[in-house]
Structure 1
């Protein structure tokens, strides 16, 4: 288990490696400066669109915003969007296996996290089933990403539901800027293989076209535990492709995109074979086998922007998305249409006013299971209404007013109606920006956002099953003990247990109110610093309440048993909890010399839970579980250009261990002391890249999770896989 004592060693290693970099810059410094062209973009020159849907200088955005550039992505050793996000403050990025992540912003990290909105070019990529994100199947090429905008706090006024604790907007390169005639191949341990091809062409003076295709193969886990030895041959195969056409003529810009992803995962599955179904031929409790889980997503969209000479803008977006999965946890297909239209009035007298409307229609279709099938899998999700047309309509307005030459106020609101709940809800915001000096900004704000209601929590049932022949069983209703016929027991039984987690149509809408204050400072393109503090109140937080159970008796059974017990147990979602979260983020970017860039960030958060209603009583375990989260997060990213042909980079990421309350630990004492503790993590990733000339192939060698092999990033209660140290080499060549 890594400890804090290892952090100084890792920092020392990074500093040691930087010495030859500085030494190499003493001679020919001016030449390197011209060749590398590495200066940081000034905050005033960096443009972001996620906060207001219009392009603003990062320096003048009254919100906590961080931009991850294409250069930082390239030099992070990351091979996925999820891994890249450790570079942003305020995010808790946690890896469950070699293709599963969960990411949270300013809240507790959990498997079905739905308080972070994730978009690609403004198109939501959340899963409609639970309003969360499947990070392993994002249909975007990392090589095609221009930058990633991370907004912390509520942005529901502009984007609607799930823009609650943060927004991640992945901005791809336009067709002209996309890689040209580029192919690459990567190989690494744990059966990692990745092949890519990218190209762009100019059709005429106003039109560019780009496209890519990628193929990825790897093991589903890097855990080397002995019990996984027989599963080493399992594979995950992912294919991505994308096409983009951009047209620009005078005041009009049109972008058309089409792409998709398909994922095929080998995994070990089983079917329970309880004896009472066929006692004559019964042999085993279950039949284990290797199968394949498939999921895919296809999307197409068009974006149109008209910019008038007076500064007004009119933008329209249309997206059509189809996705499906045959997993028993997500057995559904979705066809989604997203329409968004906005007009921005840009006047000196009245400030900037944006008026917009959006429509989202999702045709949902869920798989059907017979009553018998529901008991024969380890887990399965069912829903009564298998076909549903999910409709959502919204209107929004956002107004930025210049009170003085140095003071701006932003006021906005969104009114959204959804037919899932037949409710109309609003998401207002108020923000203030004060320009202290030419290179200093102070901002503060308040906003309210809601979590988009999903059918998972309202209508679905998730069922976990367990089957055992000739087992012991205690009947609480009668006090009878069924076990081997000793000590007065009656005799063993065949036991089939089903734990059913039920949705609830009476749940109230989850809402989060957040108050923020922040400060920015920058010194040209050499140094940038920002700090933000926040307090949020999250109401109607979900929890499961036990609803009791039912026991059924069957006379059919296996040899050695006296009968079969079918035990159904129920828990239903309720919303008695609330939480107060407070904390802050620090971010710094520094370029002491042109060939060295240092990025660092630190985040802190703490959660205080409360419970109301009869369900609370003397049981405060749901509150204590809500509060059990790491408090400290930090990342250090160093990028060195040793020579115009050679660069080296490293990323150190730290997450503190959680400290669960003694009552919570005592409740789970039988599982061990560390069962609930989120472990302390210190990870080190490094890359070295060499390219003799721009026309030559480039070679990149990377290592992830150095010095921390076989570490688990989740607490043991989630049964996580361990993540091993991974190495890979990439050969890339641009022919033109």
Structure 2
């Protein structure tokens, strides 16, 4: 049942105090939106997420944004998708208690192949559906230094699936934040958890960090029938050691994670024809090891080696899913005269095993042609940023990828930046990016896709659409144009961008043959079976603009406002997203935060999503130098469905208001 949260007085107060983010302590990538004018113009920062070379923050020819550790702390976010809502152009909607739909510039979803997500440069996409299992990213948020979001294609630097943008989650290095941190939280609807973090020195050469997380995630209620997700539990243990000297840096990460979750999935039955909703019980456990090594060859050149191995096992009453990934990267960057060069080779090897036999008592359920499969991919890139004059800079990049499923793809990029004045920049970009198809598309057989009810389209019987195969195992290709403007003055900035993306060879559902009676005569038919295929020939386009304003209005008050308008032609139409955030230091010890979010309604093939209009309010009391207490009221407003799953969808889950209290002690 829908509920309304009555907080008229607090809501009115929130509009007197607009948005935010204290300036970040560290400087990498998109810090341009966190720093004042002097730092923007004079400080040289590493812009790894934007292009893997070094550049001054004001001169980055990308639509970039950073979410700092202080932003996360003041927002009250309890997971990474909640934190991503602070970035303009990013939509992070809750599908269920344990599932999220994240998109950039309009195109995305829970199983999206158009956003590349990384942790410290390690790719997180999986070969089964090429998306990200967000419930595997249950990091202790105290570990996160910042989250860099680059909007628009960046495949020339990072490879396949960096179509609409990249998200790079950067954790603190072992020696960067030596302390002990304990965080405990509790809230309505069984929400509770604890985070622990300890870091320091092992000896004169080595630093270490160890952190742990345990949380209880409240299950959500279905919008149309009396079925609620079960409360979930998740845990994570992360360790890191680091060694630094004058010329090199070695980082080793070892992590383990797990959880028990219970979302609601659906399946199609044919006797009688119906969609049945089932509480999925799933246990997951996984781990990873990652080694990053950087070394300076001389004053101008450095090289970087990155290797990572991860494994995840997921077992439920729907399937058993085992996946393993091995990544290896070698990169070299440096300067020669007016050229800032970056080049490298990358490889990724993925193994996955899908066993669905435990749930195959239904008439039509997804099967894979091969239960086990190995997929390999290789890539090489070259980027050259050329200082044409004091006012003009050009970046020419190209990447070649070879994927076992879809073959070879060339992904070029061209960017031009004009220094209008010391505080203004205009950039333009034309680029191409590719998204690889996944096993769920290429290997699926006898997969129920949808039910068309009886007496629809003139048919007296219901029609069950069943996916039999895929035609055209090739990459979805995106050709993108972008025009951006950035200006800083005093302690304020504006960052704006126009974009247009044209997608080719996207995957859609195409019928094959005529519908067949089910069951066949002499039994009386109860349905029609329409066989179909995934067809990689669809074309569509998206366009829109992003406007982001940030300002430190006074020593006590800072603000951030963003507007994003995007249109996916022939799909959801125009979508508007607005965000207004503010932090106000009432006293030296008390900070009041307010965050208003709005997203216009849109329609998908699964459901029509209503307008989302919510407010988050927070009070942070710094009791002492080491102890703080935070109170958060989140999702103030009526219960809303934010998103639905693209496949195995339920009727939608209500996301409603709730309160949280967090106690943090650091020493």
Does residue 705 (structure 1) correspond to residue 666 (structure 2)? The answer is: no
* Counterpart among 398, 409, 429 of residue 413 in structure 1: 398
What secondary structure is seen at the aligned counterpart in 1 of 2:220?
Answer: coil
Q: Could you list the per-position Cα deviations for residues 291-328 of structure 1 after superposition, in whole angstroms to 9, with x for gaps in the alignment?
A: 62122331111000012332201100001011232347
Closer/same/farther in 2, CA of residues 221 and 473 from structure 1, 3 Å limit = closer
User: Which SS does the other structure have where 1:428 is aligned?
Assistant: strand
Asked if residue 733 in structure 1 is aligned to residue 662 in structure 2, the reply is no
Moved more, 583-592 or 515-524: 515-524
Query: 1:679–1:715: 8 Å Cα contact kept in structure 2?
Result: no
Q: Distance in 2 between matches of 1:447 and 1:599?
A: 29
1:95 corresponds in structure 2 to: 94
Structure 1 segments unaligned to the other structure (5+ residues): 19-37, 277-284, 483-494, 557-561, 609-623, 669-674
Query: How far is 1:149 from its partner?
Result: 0.9
Match of 2:652 among 694, 712, 720: 720
Q: Is the 8 A contact 2:46 2:53 kept in 1?
A: no
Give the Cα separation in 1 of the matches to 2:540 and 2:275.
Answer: 42
Q: More strand per residue: 1 or 2? A: 2
Contact 1:213/1:239 (8 A) holds in 2: yes
- 1:468-617 alignment to 2 at 5 Å? 499-524=465-490, 526-547=491-512, 548-551=514-517, 553=519, 568-608=529-569
Report 1:373-392 matches (<5 A): 374-376=360-362, 380-392=365-377
Bigger mean CA deviation after superposition, 457-466 or 61-70: 457-466
TM superposition shift of 1:504: 0.8
Distance in 1 (CA, whole Å) between partners of 2:575 and 2:617 is 26
Correspondence 1:311 to 2:241: no
Q: Mapping of 1:584-733 within 5 angstroms?
A: 584-608=545-569, 624=570, 626=571, 628-658=572-602, 677-695=608-626, 697-706=627-636, 708-714=637-643, 719-733=651-665
Q: When the two structures are superposed, what TM-score results if normalisation uses the length of structure 2?
A: 0.87
Aligned pair partner of 2:381 in 396, 399, 423: 396
Aligned to 2:26: none
Aligned to 2:161, what secondary structure does the other structure show?
coil
Partner Cα distance (2:629, 2:643) in 1: 34
Shift, 1:289, TM fit: 8.4
Q: Give 1:246's match in structure 2, choosing from 239, 242, 256.
A: 242
* Equivalent-residue separation in structure 2 for 1:109 and 1:329 (angstroms): 24
| Inter-partner Cα distance in structure 2 for 1:208 and 1:148 | 23
CA distance in 1, matches of 2:276, 2:655: 29
Contact 2:323–2:352 (CA<8 Å) still a contact in 1?
Answer: yes
Shift of 1:335: 1.1
Query: What is the correspondence of 1:325-404 to structure 2 with a 5 Å cutoff?
Result: 325-327=314-316, 331-347=320-336, 349-369=337-357, 374-376=360-362, 380-404=365-389
Equivalent residues of 2:471, 2:536 under 8 A apart: no
State the SS of the aligned residue for 1:358: strand
Q: Note if contact 1:629-1:678 (Cα within 8 Å) is conserved in structure 2.
A: no
- In structure 2, how many angstroms separate the alpha carbons of the residues matched to 1:196 and 1:403? 50
Q: Summarize the Cα distance change of 1:576–1:392 in structure 2 as closer, same or farther, 3 Å threshold.
A: closer
Q: Residues of 2 paired with 1:224 and 1:192: CA distance?
A: 21
Q: CA deviation at 1:426?
A: 0.7
Give the number of aligned pairs: 638
Would the alpha carbon gap of residues 412 and 300 (structure 1) be closer, same or farther in structure 2, given more than 3 Å must change?
same
The Cα offsets for residues 580-626 of structure 1, whole Å up to 9 and x where unpaired, read as: 22111111110011111101111111222xxxxxxxxxxxxxxx4x2
Would you say the 8 A contact 1:514–1:536 is kept in 2? yes
Q: Separation in 2 of the partners of 1:54 and 1:212?
A: 31
Find the counterpart in structure 2 of residue 436 from structure 1.
420
Query: Deviation of residue 466 (structure 1)?
Result: 11
RMSD: 3.5
Q: What CA distance in whole angstroms lies between the structure 2 residues aligned with 1:39 and 1:420?
A: 41
- C-alpha change, 1:516 and 1:465, in structure 2 (3 Å) is closer
- Call closer, same or farther: CA 1:10–1:550 in 2, change over 3 Å: farther
Q: CA deviation at 1:206?
A: 3.0
Q: 1:506 to 1:327 in 2, by over 3 A?
A: farther
Question: How many angstroms apart in 1 are the aligned matches of 2:393 and 2:420?
Answer: 12
| CA–CA separation in structure 2 for the residues paired with 1:328 and 1:292 | 6
